[in-house]
Structure 1
């Protein structure tokens, strides 16, 4: 189902200070890049042109204009093959300027968490992702409801404090 909400690029382009992303799933819909990795193909990190995508440039441009971009992933252990792949390709996110942390799910007890992944822009605008059971995006939703924004912001910050920086998290 196509989304009628503003695109991620549009929302990030309007951000002035921050964009935070909380990921809660252990797998998402398989992509060609994931399937290639499963077959043993690896990225030539020295050949930036082979892996640098428009998303990476969008992040780099946003960081260059002062937007702090943080991503936290809650994962079950042992991790799924999808999470092992995400950990591997996170090098691109880091290179683009994102800060990324990982939190084992067993350390989330006591954190009020939303039921869905989200992006929070400038602490007031949420883009909530709704997925099907197999990890396909079903719909994105935009909200500025103060109670929902507060829940998501507090959840993200608590996860961020407990989470392990990418370079220290081993899968």
Structure 2
């Protein structure tokens, strides 16, 4: 899977340029946004909940997730106004990393507000990850595909931008296959995340 993506030609965008381009395309008449997340450890500096999580204040981190409620609700209202269907597939490795344990509490809020998120157990795609992991991608309709990139420390660092229609269409089709194979978010969360003890972190 994702062969055309691996061979595709892209343009590297800095983080500000990526955000600028994303907003332009997002508001330009597309009707879908698909996001595939694969990494298991990231840093989200400036997000109060993550900052508390990163210093071991687990209860505080969970309470601060709620600060995002209205921001996320506004995002979903805007998507509805623009007629955009948003979907996310989150790949999760076992044992679950502290970051993913924290992130899934954030995603639970998004699901509560209407986000369409499914979970893929990484063990269930080991057959297609023998050479490389599935990519971190954001697909905006048929217009553009971004490979989100991070620095060595796990900080967001921009994106590689693809506009070739074959690359976009084939990657979208492959995303659909994996999304359909994924598990419902709440079923996974209740079984695998809710029973876990607070994680030990070291950032």
The farther-off stretch of 63-72 and 112-121 is 112-121
Aligned residue for 1:36?
A: 52
Change (3 A) 1:22 1:15: farther
Shift of 1:7: 4.2
Structure 2 distance, partners of 1:87, 1:130, is 21
Alignment equivalent of 1:23, drawn from 37, 40, 49: 37
1:148 alignment partner, SS class = helix
Please tell me whether residue 9 in structure 1 is matched to residue 23 in structure 2. Answer: yes
Q: Give the count of matched residue pairs.
A: 168
Question: Cα distance 1:61–1:30, how it changes in 2: closer, same or farther (>3 A)?
Answer: closer
Is 2:196 the counterpart of 1:149?
A: no
Q: Deviations over 1:72-109 (max 9, x none)?
A: 01111111011011111112322443200110111113
Could you tell me how far apart the structure 1 residues matched to 2:99 and 2:123 are?
A: 19
Aligned-residue RMSD, C-alpha: 2.6
Q: In the TM superposition, what is the alpha-carbon distance from 1:117 to its structure 2 partner?
A: 1.2
C-alpha contact 2:15 2:158 (8 A) present in aligned 1:
yes
Tell me the CA shift for residue 144 of structure 1: 1.2
User: Is 1:75 the equivalent of 2:92?
Assistant: yes
- Tell me which residue corresponds to 2:8: none
1:126 to 121, 145, 153: 145
1:104 aligns with 2:124: no
Specify whether residues 114 and 54 from structure 1 end up closer, same or farther in structure 2 by C-alpha distance, changes over 3 A only: same
Gaps of 5+ in 2: 1-13, 194-203
107-116 or 82-91, which moves further after superposition? 107-116
Contact 2:144 2:168 in 1 (8 A): yes
Larger radius of gyration: 2
Greater fraction helix: 2
Offset at 1:43?
Answer: 2.2
CA shift at 1:152, angstroms? 2.2
The Cα shift of 1:64 comes to: 4.2
Q: 1:124 to 1:11 in 2, by over 3 A?
A: closer
